[in-house]
Amino acid sequence: MDKTIDRTATANPGDVELTRKAAEDHVELVADRLRKMMPECGFGELGTCCVMCYMGPCRIDPFGQGTRAGVCGATPDVIVARNFLRSATGGASSHAGHARELAILLLEIAEGRAPGYRIREEGKLLSLAEKLGVPVDGRPVDAVAADVARKAFEDFGRQDGEPMNWIRARASRMEYEKWEKLGLLVSNPHNEIETAMHRTSMGNDADPLNLWVATLRMGMVDNFAGLMMATDLADVIFGIPTPKVVTANYSVLKEGEVNIACHGHNPILASKVAEWADRLEGEAKAAGAGRVNVVGICCIGNELVMRYGIPYAGHEAQTELFLVTGAIDAMVVDMQCILPSLPAIAKCYKTRFITTVPFVRHPEAIHVDFRPEAADERAQEIVRHAIAAYKERKAAGIRPRIPDVSSRLLTGISVESLVSVLSTVDAKDPLKPVIDAIAAGDILGAVGMVGCPNPKLRDGAMSEKMAEGLLRNNVLIVTTGCVNHILAQGGFLTSDATEKYAGPRLKKVLTAIGQAAGLGGPLPPVLHMGSCVDNSRIYDLLAALAGKLGVEVSQLPVAGSAPEFITEKAISIGSFFLAAGILVHLAPAPRVFGSPFAVSLLTEKLPGLNGGKVLVAATPDAAVSGILAHLREKRQALGLPQA
């Protein structure tokens, strides 16, 4: 292990402490492997490496050195467009899979085949049903639920070319018409995914523009067959998030308790593990532990904290470090963002690493075949694994080291809960105070900070510094995904943060709302709206604001930022926000710079077409000033004062 390099620059002292412990314990971390990988491949970074067929691999220097096209004749513009579309397809597939599992669960609940689950939000089910054209009057809830699930399956099987049910039901008229004009009304997510894979394989689509339109369409798949469907159905089954104040960071792990870390994405598994953790407290006590303590990592942490207030552990770049604490008895995962390095590290500390999904396995993991029909049995099995591990680990003399770092955060901001908070200010027209504040310039604009924690940018505290810069300039921030773990650990989701970071005009607005809502302090300047799939909540909020103003979403002074993105899911989410006509800031740089066509499309042509635009900026200062310039431009176009 290379000990000469200082890996201690991140803002979280817990990360520093555990990184040292990892070195002492001879555990290799993401940051170590990243360093060994340097320099990363320049062709890959530019997007001009192609492995689509076996005449290659081909790599093309965009600066005119060497060959100008792949063996097949594909130009850098074609290669970049194909590669990018495949990334967006990977992301959209993940989100569509997530949503489809929830649709299956809803049908199972309706038909009595998933006794461990129930419908918690009848009101949301009925309003969703009405939007989908499912009759509700006088019908039993289960019958309505079954039909709502069937509407989802209809989308996944549709061959008539008509727009998805979920788009027709959930897009506003104005946004729908915009997408209709642009040819972005997708019909069947699976067909779109199939066609994307087909057209990008060797010897098919060689028109860069056609390929980029397919990427925007993949963004539509991501939002409507993924994010929005998943959020709608998860709220129906697991509840609409409500505001609550909870604890985050390493200190959520408890010595003397059985610690279970849930990691992954879909609440189907983790909600059950959390339930059985409570119900098996007696067995934990018999094993000499206080209780079973469930904490949430990554996006499942977001799902669990938003709805149930379950302790909010940390983000993806900390998953290895959480194991290095030696305090976790079982890490239970479902899907997405599970580093393949984890099971070996778990072994070092006799932590049981449990996979649960048939297509997310690891040779060194324990596999529990989790299915909704047998959810209660399987969840008990998982919790008992953790209790057994607790005894074993105690006997083996494993000494945990839990960094004494903790922070508080306000979480649980759904559109519904935000509206109810704001209705304390204006009961008749809850969104009016926000719109007035934006119009007056007290809120300059809003930015959705979303996505992952990238070790390439973590040492520079990219997300924290960007948040600081935006807040000082009176920009309101909403967050989802792992960025929210970062910002929570940095103390940005508290009333104190409003005092500390918000510009004077933003502070005034947030203080007034906090007072009216009886929060005992200002509303935090960063609002936690959930997991990656909950980006649909951000979009719903924007659509509601735009609707009230009578403008398109693309005209609002807002932007999206994935300041440290890692996954293909961030690419597909970003593609949706581009389709919606919103500025998307990305760091690290997306792999498009090998294609002059792509650069001009994403930074010059698309803005003129629908407002969508990509901003690439890898330093906080450049990102903040680029975003501020954009917000000011949008304000000017609407005739709003510059503040």
For ligand CUV, the binding residues (CB under 6 A) are: 265, 298-299, 315-316, 336-337, 451-452, 481-482, 531-532, 566-567, 569
- Name the minimum Å distance from CB 565 to ligand CUV: 7
Closest by Cα among 322, 172, 326 to 255: 326
Tokens representing residue 564 in the block: 């440290």
The DSSP H or E segment spanning 513 is: helix 504-516
Q: Which does 56 bind (CB under 5 to 8 A by kind): ligand CUV, ligand SF4, none?
A: ligand SF4
**Peptide bond preceding 588 in cis form (omega within 30 of 0):** yes
Among 1, 9, 41, 55, binds ligand SF4 (CB under 6 A): 55
Which 304-363 positions form the footprint of ligand SF4 (CB under 6 A)? none
The answer to whether 236 and 124 are in contact (CB under 8 A) is: yes
Among 29, 58, 96, 624, binds ligand SF4 (CB under 6 A): 58
Among 53, 197, 206, 439, binds ligand SF4 (CB under 6 A): 53
- Name the minimum Å distance from CB 480 to ligand CUV: 8
| Beta strands 407-411; 330-333: pairing state | unpaired
Dihedral class, residue 29 (left if φ above 0, else alpha if ψ from -120 to 50, else beta): beta
Nearer to ligand CUV, 222 or 316 (CB): 316
- Scanning the structure block, which residue is given the tokens 């449990």? 354
- Name the minimum Å distance from CB 57 to ligand SF4: 6
Nearer to ligand CUV, 18 or 533 (CB): 533
- Name the minimum Å distance from CB 245 to ligand CUV: 22
CA distance 331 to 273: 11
From 70-78, 282-290, 341-349, 511-519, span contacting ligand SF4 (CB under 6 A): 70-78
Long-range contacts of the stretch 364-371 (C-beta < 8 A, 24+): 370/268, 370/269, 370/334
The answer to whether 103 and 152 are in contact (CB under 8 A) is: yes
Distances in Å between the Cα of 356 and the Cα atoms of 102, 106, 275, 332, 338 are 16, 20, 17, 8, 12
- Name the minimum Å distance from CB 246 to ligand CUV: 18
Number of Cβ within 10 Å of residue 545's Cβ equals 18
Number of Cβ within 10 Å of residue 5's Cβ equals 9
Tell me: does residue 503 bind ligand SF4 (CB under 6 A).
no
From 71-79, 383-391, 516-524, 586-594, span contacting ligand SF4 (CB under 6 A): 71-79
Nearer to ligand SF4, 57 or 133 (CB): 57
Number of Cβ within 10 Å of residue 353's Cβ equals 25
The answer to whether 562 and 568 are in contact (CB under 8 A) is: no
Dihedral class, residue 75 (left if φ above 0, else alpha if ψ from -120 to 50, else beta): beta
Tell me: does residue 197 bind ligand SF4 (CB under 6 A).
no
Q: Which does 52 bind (CB under 5 to 8 A by kind): ligand SF4, ligand CUV, none?
A: ligand SF4
Tell me: does residue 202 bind ligand SF4 (CB under 6 A).
yes
- Name the minimum Å distance from CB 297 to ligand CUV: 8
Query: Which residue intervals of 111-140 are DSSP H helices?
Result: 122-132
Tell me: does residue 74 bind ligand SF4 (CB under 6 A).
yes
Q: Which does 566 bind (CB under 5 to 8 A by kind): ligand CUV, ligand SF4, none?
A: ligand CUV
Q: Which does 58 bind (CB under 5 to 8 A by kind): ligand SF4, ligand CUV, none?
A: ligand SF4
Tell me: does residue 640 bind ligand SF4 (CB under 6 A).
no
Q: Which does 482 bind (CB under 5 to 8 A by kind): ligand SF4, ligand CUV, none?
A: ligand CUV
- Name the minimum Å distance from CB 91 to ligand CUV: 9
CA distance 387 to 258: 6
From 45-53, 275-283, 361-369, 390-398, span contacting ligand SF4 (CB under 6 A): 45-53
Which 390-449 positions form the footprint of ligand SF4 (CB under 6 A)? none
- Name the minimum Å distance from CB 201 to ligand SF4: 8
Nearer to ligand CUV, 235 or 552 (CB): 235
From 56-64, 102-110, 118-126, 600-608, span contacting ligand SF4 (CB under 6 A): 56-64
Q: Which does 532 bind (CB under 5 to 8 A by kind): ligand SF4, ligand CUV, none?
A: ligand CUV
From 50-58, 206-214, 253-261, 407-415, span contacting ligand SF4 (CB under 6 A): 50-58
Closest by Cα among 370, 368, 364, 310 to 342: 364
In this structure, what is the dihedral angle of CA atoms 217, 221, 227, 231, given to the nearest 10 degrees? 130
- Could you say which DSSP state residue 639 is in? T
Distances in Å between the Cα of 11 and the Cα atoms of 287, 322, 324, 461, 463 are 37, 16, 18, 7, 11
Nearer to ligand SF4, 86 or 151 (CB): 86
From 16-24, 68-76, 380-388, 457-465, span contacting ligand SF4 (CB under 6 A): 68-76
C-alpha 72: how far from its chain's center? 37
Among 11, 72, 197, 405, binds ligand SF4 (CB under 6 A): 72
Tell me: does residue 46 bind ligand SF4 (CB under 6 A).
no
Q: Which does 586 bind (CB under 5 to 8 A by kind): ligand CUV, ligand SF4, none?
A: none
C-alpha 96: how far from its chain's center? 14
Distances in Å between the Cα of 532 and the Cα atoms of 487, 528, 535 are 15, 11, 6
C-alpha 293: how far from its chain's center? 24
Nearer to ligand SF4, 509 or 598 (CB): 598
Tell me: does residue 206 bind ligand SF4 (CB under 6 A).
no
The answer to whether 477 and 501 are in contact (CB under 8 A) is: no
Q: Which does 298 bind (CB under 5 to 8 A by kind): ligand CUV, ligand SF4, none?
A: ligand CUV
Q: What is the Cα gyration radius of the chain?
A: 24
- Name the minimum Å distance from CB 61 to ligand SF4: 13
CA distance 555 to 578: 13
Closest by Cα among 524, 22, 107 to 320: 22
Distances in Å between the Cα of 610 and the Cα atoms of 81, 214, 579 are 19, 15, 8
Residues that bind ligand SF4 (CB under 6 A): 50-53, 55-58, 70-72, 74, 79, 202
